[in-house]
Structure 1
C-alpha cells in the first residue's frame, strides 16, 4: 500500500514522420516534491519509449483519487498516520481508513435478483408460453408469449428473491447465513460484523492478510462482497473502511471544493476546501459510519489486528448510539 505525500506530473512529446506522440504521467514520493517530479518524468519517459516501440498504452493517465489506474497509488489527502495504517480524506470529503493487511469487506444489500434467477424465470415462462401455444395449436402466438416472458421475468425474479430473503430473516439474515456457511468451512476465522447504512461491514480479526492472498479472494467470493471494493483492494494493495459520514446523508448538498476532490489542491483553492471540511466535520460529529453488531467464529484477535480494530471502532463511532450516515 502506498499513499504518497507528494505528487507531480510530466508531459512528453515526440514528433515522428507523419505523427506526434504525446504522453502524460503522474509521479509520487513520500520524501519530496522534487522526487515526485523525477518519478513522473521517469514514468513518462518509459511510457513514451513503449509507445514508440508500438505497444498500446493509455497516453494520458486519469487523475482519480482512488479508482485509478493499475499501479497508481491512492491520491488522497493524508489526515493521520497510525503505524502502517493511514487515514485519508476521499474525493467526496469523508475520512477513510487504509490498511495494508487488516481485512475489511463490504456487503451491500440489494433488492435486485441475480441474473441467474432472472434467466431461470424467463426460461420457465417461455416454456409455459410454448406449451400453451402447442396445446391450442396456435404457434403464431408463440412470439407474443416470448415477449410476455421477457417482460415478466424480471418482476417474477424480484418477487421470488424478496420472498426468499424474508424467509432468511431479511437482507441481514441472508448475509449472515452466507457468513456462517463460510465459517462452517473455516472455523478458525473470526468475523466482526458492523451495520452500515447500505449493508454490512466485516472485519476479519484472526490474522493479517495481503490483499492478493488467495484466501482473501475466496472470502470475498463466498460472502458476496461488493465487486468494486474487491477490485480496488487488489489494485491499491490494501483494505479500506469509511470512518465518517457521507456528506449527502447529513444534509450537505455542496460537493467538496474544488471539484473533483482529488489531492493535491492548488494553494489558491485551499481556503475554500478548508471551509468545506470545517463545516463537514462539525456536522459529521453527530453521526457514525457503522455500528458494531456481533462477532462470529473463533472470536480471536491477532495482536497486529487489535490496534487497527480499536482505531476503526473509535473513529467510525461503531460503539456509539449515533445515527448511521
Structure 2
C-alpha cells in the first residue's frame, strides 16, 4: 500500500511515424514536489519508449476514486499511525487505509434518494398554501387535491416501510452468511457492523495480504461489493470509511477540489478549510457504522487488528446511538 504526500504530472511529446505522440504520467513521493516531478518524468519517458516500441499502453492515466493499476491512492493524508493512514477522500469523508487488516463491505441495495421526503413535504405545503389562499376553484377541487396528497403520503410511507423490511431481511441473510462462513472456518474471528448500505466486516484473528486467496474466498462467500474487492487488489490494501457521506448529513456544497484531483498545495485553501469545518460540525450527529456482533472464535485477536479496531470504532463512533451517515 502506498499513499503518497506529493503528486506531480509529466508530459512528453515526440514525432513518431509522421505524427505527434504525447504521453502523460503521474509521479508521487513522500519527500517533496520535486521528487514527485522527477518520478513523473521518469514514468512518462518509460511509457513513451514502450508505446513507441509497440506496447498497447494508454497515453494518459485517468484520475479515479481508487486509482488504477500502478497508481496509488491520491487523497489528502490527515493522519498516520505506523502503516495505517487516514485520508480525506474525494468527497470529503475520512477513510482508514491499512495494508493488512482485513475489512470487507457488503452492500444490500441502493438507498432511497435523499430528496424524496423533502420533495413530498414541499408538495404538501404548497397544496396547503394554495387551498388557504383560495387558489383552487372550489371546495370539490380542494377535496380532490387533498385526497391526492393523502394518497401520495401513504404511498411514500408504505414504500419506506417495505424498504426497511427488505433491509432487515437482507441484513439477516448477510449475517447468516457470515455465521455460516465462521462455522466452516473455525479459526476465524469476524466483527460485523451495520452501514447505511449494508454491512462492514473486520477480521480480528490475523492479518492478510490483499492478494491472499483466503481474502478472495471470504469476499466470494460473503458477496463483498465488487468495486471494493477490486480496489483492494489494485491498491494492495483494505479500507473503511470513518465519517459520514456529506450528502447524508445535509451538505449541499461539494469539497474542492472535486473528484480525484488532490495535490498538497490545496490543503490550506480557505474554501476547502471552511467546507471541512462545516462538514465536521454536521458530522457530529452521525456515525459511519454501528457494531452488531462478533462471529467465530473471539479468543483469537491479533494485536495489530485490535489496534486498528480501536481506532476504527472510536472515529466511526461504532458504539454510539446515532443515525448512520
8 Å CA contact 1:258, 1:272 repeated in 2: no
Question: Distance in 2 between the 1:59 and 1:2 partners?
Answer: 23
Per-residue deviation, 1:233: 0.4
The answer to whether the 8 A contact 1:208-1:305 is kept is yes
Query: How far apart are 1:265 and its partner, in Å?
Result: 5.9
2:76 — aligned with what?
77
- 1:1-325 to structure 2, matched below 5 A, reads 1-64=1-64, 66-110=65-109, 170-260=169-259, 262-264=261-263, 267=266, 270-299=269-298, 300-325=300-325
User: How many pairs are equivalent?
Assistant: 272
Contact residue 101 and residue 208 of structure 2 kept, 8 A: yes
> Partners in 2 of 1:108 and 1:274 — Cα distance?
32
Q: Distance in 2 between matches of 1:266 and 1:85?
A: 23
**Which secondary structure does the structure 2 equivalent of 1:24 belong to?**
strand
**Post-superposition offset of 1:109:** 0.7
Deviation at 1:266, TM superposition (A): 5.0
Distance between the aligned counterparts of 2:67 and 2:194, measured in 1?
28
With normalisation by structure 1, the TM-score equals 0.80
TM-score by length of 2: 0.80
Alpha-carbon spacing, 1:67–1:15, altered in 2? closer, same or farther (3 Å)? same
The CA deviation string for residues 14-63 of structure 1, in whole angstroms up to 9 with x for no partner, is 01242111000000011122211111011001100100001111101112
Q: How large is the Cα RMSD of the aligned pairs?
A: 2.0
Q: Secondary structure in 1 aligned to 2:279?
A: helix
Tell me if the contact between 2:51 and 2:57 (Cα under 8 Å) persists in the aligned partners: yes
Hey, what's the Cα distance between the residues in 2 that align with 1:235 and 1:272?
Answer: 32
**Runs of 5+ in structure 1 lacking a partner?**
112-161
Q: CA deviation at 1:260?
A: 3.0
> Is the contact made by 1:93 and 1:261 (CA closer than 8 Å) also made in structure 2?
no
**Any stretches of 5+ residues in structure 2 without a counterpart?**
111-161
User: Structure 2 vs 1, CA of residues 268 and 313 (structure 1 numbering), >3 Å: closer, same or farther?
Assistant: closer
Secondary structure in structure 2 of the residue aligned to 1:294 = strand
